[in-house]
Amino acid sequence: MSEVKGDCKTSEEAKPATTSTPNLPGKCGCNYPSLGNVFLPKRKRRMVTLRKQPLPYGLSKSVVMLMGCISICLTSSLYYNWTIFEVLLMKEGVLAGLCSDEDRAVAKPGTFVCDAQRRGISNLYAVILYSDCFISSLGGYIGDRYGAFYALIIGQISGVIAFVMFHIFCQSTRMLYVTFFFWAISCSLALAPTWHYSRMFTFGNNMAVSIITAADNLSMFTPTLFQIIARRYNMGFSGVSLTYIFWAILTSLAITLFFIPKRFVVIDSEEEDDSQDISQMFNKSLLNALKDPRFGLSVICYVLLCSVRLFYRRSFTLLFFDNEEVIEFMEAISDLSFLGSFILGYLNEYLGVVAMMSITTLMYIFALGAVYFRNFTCAYTSALLFAIAQVGDIQQLITFIDEVFPEHESTLMGISNIVNSVFGMLLQIVFNKIFDILGPHITVALMMIILVGVMAICYIITFAFQSGGETGSTVNTKIVKGIQCDNNCTHSTDVEQMEYNPRGNDMLMTNILSVFLNLPYSLCMAIEAAINNRGQHSPQTRPQCIEDRVVRLIECEQFCSSSNRLVELCSAVFSTSLVLLIGCMYEFSKNSKLMQGYNTFSTLMVCLCLSAGLTSLVLPFTKIYKVIPPVMAVGLNSLPPLAMLIFFCRNHGEAVSFTIMCGLVITYGAFIFTMGNTTLYLNSMMGARYGKKIHSLLGWGSMGMGYLYALLAVFAAKALYKGNSIIGGYVLIMPMQCVVCLFAILILCLYLSHERQYFNLKKNSNGGSGGGGDNGTKHEDGFSVEGENCGPEESDLYFRSKYSTTWNSKALSQDYGIFWLNYKDESKIKFSLTFLLLSFSTAITMIDVVLVFLMPNFIFQAIITAIVYFIVRMIFMFVNPELMDCLLTLTAPTDIYFKVLCMCLSVITLAINLSHFRWLLSDDIYPYYLIFCICFGIRLFFNSMLHHHILSCIERFKDKPNSSDKYSYGQTTVFYMNVGYLLGLMCAIVLCYLYGRL
C-alpha cells in the first residue's frame, strides 16, 4: 500500500473543522487531506459536532442495535415463509368447515380437505400481506411523530392479541380474518419504526440499515421454530401460537420497554433549543418531502424492481422446470441473500446509495439475460446474481430516504409500501396478460427494458438533483453548537464527533476485492468501519471540562422513561409472583387427595398470610432491608420456583407433598413481600432524589402490568400441559418466572450502576448536587419543600461527568445502590384517610385475583379482569396525569370526597359481589351472565381508576410531609399497601372456606 503523507499539526490545529472541507487528524495530530469519502458529497453535512443519542443505562449503541435486531428477527416478516404456516393451519383443520361432510370423511391426514379450504387459507395470506403494506404507513407515522418506542409497544400488544385469538377462534372464518388483521399490525409495527435505529450511528448509518434489513430477512426463518415445536410436542398451530407469545412476543416487548430509547435524535436536524416541541420539528416538512421529485422517482424504481423480481422467479421456474437441482439452488441462495445486505450497506458508505442502486439494477439485467441461455452455467450464474440483486430493493429505498429525508423515513417508507401494493398489483395484471400472450422470452426482454429505465432514473436522481442532495430540501440543517468551555465550564449537552471513514480511497479497491475473496474478513471490516465510533475518543477529543452539566430534554426523557420502566418491572415481578403462587396453591389443592380441596387451599392461604404478615412487620421496623438490597431481594424470588420445579416434577406421597408445599409457600411468600417492600422503598428513594417525574407509584396500581403476563401464563399452561404433576401446568410456568426474575436483576444492576450519576439541583443554587452525601449539600427534592409552586419542577437534572475529579466521592448515591439501601425511618406511621382508602382498594383487587382461580369459567373471568386492568393501566401510562385529574373532577381530595368514594365503593362492591358469590355456588351459567359480566367489568374499572388516582395523588406530594420525616412517606405507603394485600388474602380464605369450590 502506498504511503500517505501529510503535514503534522498541533493539537489545537488538529481539531475537526466545521467547514465543508474535512480535515482528518490522526492520533498524532497529523492531517491527511487526501483521505475521506469523495464519492458521497452528502457526507459533508455530517462534518459537524452533533448531540449524542442518549441510550438506556449508558449502553453502547451496538448493544442496543443488537437487542433491537433480535426483536425484528422474532416478530417481523414471519408470514413471508407462508409454506410452513400453510402446513400447520392445514393440520390444525383450519377452515375445514368450508368443506362438505363427504369431503371431510374421505380426506387423508396431512392434506387439504377440499379446494375451498385451500383457497380460504390462501386468502388469509392475502389479508395479512395487504394489511401489512397499508398499516406500515400508519406505523411509520406513529414512529416518526411520537417515537419508535410507542409504535413498537402497540405492535407487540397487537401480536399478543392476535396469537391468543388464534388459539380461541381457530375454527371461525370471520374471526380468523380479524386475527390475521391484528397479526398484520404486529408485523408492520415490528419493522416500520425500526429504521430509526440507524440514527444512533453518526457514521455508518447505511450499514445500520443493512443490518436491519438482514434481521428482517432472518425473521423468515422464525417459522421454522414453529415447525420444530409442533413436531416435537405434537401440537397444532393454535398450541404453538401460545408458546410463541412467551418466547418471542413477550421477549420483544421486554426488549422494547427496557432497551429501546424513548426517542431517537434526528441526525441532521436536531435543534439546539430543547424547549421546542417535537411537533414543530415534524409536521412542517412532511408535505415538502412528498412533493420532492427524488422521492417520487425512488418509489418508481422500487415498484418496478419489485415487479421485475416477481416475474423473474416465474420465468426462471418455467424455463428450468425440468431441473430440480437448479430450482433448489435458487431457493437456497435466496434464503441466504441476507448476507448480501451487509456487503451492500458497506459499499453504500463508499459509492453512494444511488450508485449502488444502479449496480444492483445492472445485476438484474445480467441475471435476466442469462435466462436466455439454457445451460447449467448460465442458470447458476443467473440465480446467484438475482440473489445478490434482490437484497437491494427495499434496502436501497430506505437508505436513500434516510439520506435525504431522515425526519420522515418510516412514514415515507410506509407510503412507498402502499404505492407498491396498489401499482404492483396493477402491473402484475398487465404483465400476466403479456406473459400469457407473448411467452416468457418476450416478457423477460420487456423486463430488461424496464430495468434500463430504472438506471436512467438513477442517473437523473444522481446528477439532475445533485445540488438538492447537498442541502436536503426537507431537512432543517440548523447546526448544533459544539462544546463551549470557559472558566465556569458548563456543558449543555453531550456531543459526538461525526467524522469520515478514515480508510479513504486507497483502500477502496482492496476492500471490494476482500468481499469476494475473503467473506469473513470483509464482514469484520464492514462492521468495524460502519458501526464504530471507537478510536474517535482520542485524547484530543476528550472534553477539557470536568464539571457537571445540565441534562437536556431528550436525555431527561430517556432517564425518566428508564426509571419508570424499572418501577414497572419491580411491580410486575411482585404481582406475577403473587398471582402465580396463588394459582399454584389452587392447582395443588385441586389435585391433592390428603384432605378436601378447600381445606387444603385454606391451609395454604393461612401459611401465605402468616408469612406475608410477619415479613411486612419485620421489614419496616428493622434494618433488614440494608442487608437485603433490591437486587438481592429480587434474586431471592428465583429460588422457590426452582424448588417447586425440582420437588414436583414427579409425585411424592400426599403427606410429604403437602409438607413441602407448606414450606415453599411460607418461603416464597416471605421472599415476595420482602422484594415488594424493598422495591417500594427504592421507589420512594427515586421520588426523594428526582421528584415527581421519576416517582412512579402508578406501576403498583391494580397488580401492575405483570397481571396480564400472569393470566396469559396460566391460560397457556392450562391449554398446553398434558402431564400428571400435582401442581399441573405450573411446572412449565415456574422456569419462565425464574427467567423473569433474572431479567429483573439484570435491569436493576444496569440502572443502579449508571443512573446514580444523575442528580437533582435547585435552580440558582450556588453549588452541590442532590445526592445525599455530596459534601453536606442540602438535598433538594419533592418532599422537603412546602407549597404548590416550589416542587421539583423548579429543579434541574444534572449529570456527573465521568472525567470529574470528584467522581468517586460524589457519584455514589447515599440513598440506594446495588448492594445496600440507606433508608431512614425513625418516625412513626401516620394515619391517613388517603392511605386507608388505598388499602381498601388493594384488598378488593386481591380478592378479585383469588376469585379468578375459584371461578368455574376461568377464561372468561380472567379475560374480563385482565382487559379492564390493562386498559386503565394504559390510560394512566400514556395520558397526561393533569388531564386525568380533570376527568376525575377533583385534583385535591377532601374529606367529603373520600367519604363519598368510600360509600359508593362499598355499596357497589357489596351489590356486585352478592351476585358474584351466588354464581360461585353453581357451574351453570345463568341467563343474566352477560349482565353480570358487564356489571363486574364496571366495578373492576371503577376500583382500578380509583386505585390509580389515589396513587397519582399520593405521588404528587399533596400531603406535604415535613422535611424531617420525608422518608416516612415511603414507609407509610409500604405499610398501608401491605395491609390491603393481607386483608384481601384473609377475605379470600373466608370465601374459599365458605363456598368450598375445590
Residue with cell 448536587: 769
| β-sheet bridge partners, residue 798 | 550, 759
Are 27 and 125 in the same domain? Answer: no
The continuous run of DSSP H or E covering 795 comes out as strand 795-799
Helices and strands: H and E segment counts in the chain: 38, 7
Alpha carbon distance 594, 460 (integer Å):
83
Mean pLDDT, to the nearest integer, of 374-380? 76
pLDDT of the residue at 272: 41
* pLDDT tens digits along 72-99: 999 988 888 887 888 888 888 888 888 8
Are 20 and 131 in the same domain? Answer: no
**Considering the chain, what is the average pLDDT of its residues?**
72
Are 101 and 87 in the same domain? Answer: yes
Say if CB 423 and CB 369 are below 8 A apart.
no
Q: What is the model's pTM?
A: 0.77
The closest alpha carbon to 609, from 658, 669, 671, belongs to: 669
Which of 482, 511, 526 delimits the end of a domain? Answer: 482
Are 289 and 205 in the same domain? Answer: no
In a domain, 511, yes or no: no
* Helix, strand or coil, per DSSP, at residue 708: helix
Alpha carbon distance 242, 163 (integer Å):
6
In a domain, 425, yes or no: yes
Q: Are strands 7-8 and 795-799 parallel, antiparallel or unpaired?
A: unpaired
Alpha carbon distance 586, 589 (integer Å):
5
* Separation in Å, CA 998 to CA 534, 589, 602, 651, 660: 63, 7, 10, 20, 20
The closest alpha carbon to 444, from 507, 382, 496, belongs to: 382
Mean pLDDT, to the nearest integer, of 133-156? 84
* pLDDT tens digits along 291-312: 788 888 888 888 888 778 777 7
* pLDDT tens digits along 480-528: 333 333 334 443 445 554 443 444 444 444 544 444 455 555 555 555 5
Q: Are strands 7-8 and 30-31 parallel, antiparallel or unpaired?
A: antiparallel
Are 407 and 275 in the same domain? Answer: yes
In a domain, 380, yes or no: yes
Residue 742, pLDDT > 90, answer: yes
Are 326 and 238 in the same domain? Answer: no
Q: What is the CATH number of the domain that holds 323?
A: 1.20.1250.20
pLDDT band at 940 (very low <50, low <70, confident <90, very high): confident
pLDDT of the residue at 47: 39
Letter string b/e over residues 769-794, b meaning 16 or more CB atoms within 10 A of that residue's CB = bbbbebeebebbbbbebeeeeebbee
Q: What is the CATH number of the domain that holds 599?
A: 1.20.1250
pLDDT band at 905 (very low <50, low <70, confident <90, very high): low
Least confident of 278-292, 388-402, 512-526: 512-526
pLDDT of the residue at 179: 92
Are 222 and 342 in the same domain? Answer: no
Q: Is the dihedral of CA 126, 127, 130, 136 positive or negative?
A: negative
In a domain, 46, yes or no: no
pLDDT band at 608 (very low <50, low <70, confident <90, very high): very high
Please name the amino acid found at residue 566.
L
Alpha carbon distance 290, 283 (integer Å):
12
Residue-number span of the structural domain to which 13 is assigned? 8-38
Instruction: List phi, psi (to 5°) of 853.
Output: -75, -25
pLDDT band at 998 (very low <50, low <70, confident <90, very high): low
pLDDT band at 348 (very low <50, low <70, confident <90, very high): confident
Residue 318, pLDDT > 70, answer: no
* Helix, strand or coil, per DSSP, at residue 7: strand
In a domain, 778, yes or no: no
Are 813 and 709 in the same domain? Answer: yes
The closest alpha carbon to 281, from 145, 480, 472, belongs to: 145
Are 279 and 422 in the same domain? Answer: yes
Of all residues in the chain, what percent carry a pLDDT higher than 70?
A: 65
Say if CB 844 and CB 868 are below 8 A apart.
no
Are 795 and 811 in the same domain? Answer: yes
Residue 793, pLDDT > 50, answer: no
Residue 290, pLDDT > 80, answer: no
In a domain, 528, yes or no: no
Are 288 and 334 in the same domain? Answer: yes
Between 349 and 628, the higher pLDDT residue: 628
Please name the amino acid found at residue 897.
Y
Letter string b/e over residues 433-451, b meaning 16 or more CB atoms within 10 A of that residue's CB = eebeeeebeebbebbbebb
Are 660 and 801 in the same domain? Answer: yes
* pLDDT tens digits along 669-720: 999 999 988 888 787 777 666 655 665 677 787 777 788 888 888 888 888 8
In a domain, 766, yes or no: no
Three-state SS for 565-584 is HHHHHHHHHHHHHHHHHHHH
Which of 256, 289, 322 delimits the end of a domain? Answer: 256
In a domain, 1, yes or no: no
Which of 460, 482, 504 delimits the end of a domain? Answer: 482
The closest alpha carbon to 821, from 881, 910, 748, belongs to: 748
Alpha helices per DSSP H over 483-549: 508-517, 519-530
Domain count, the chain: 4
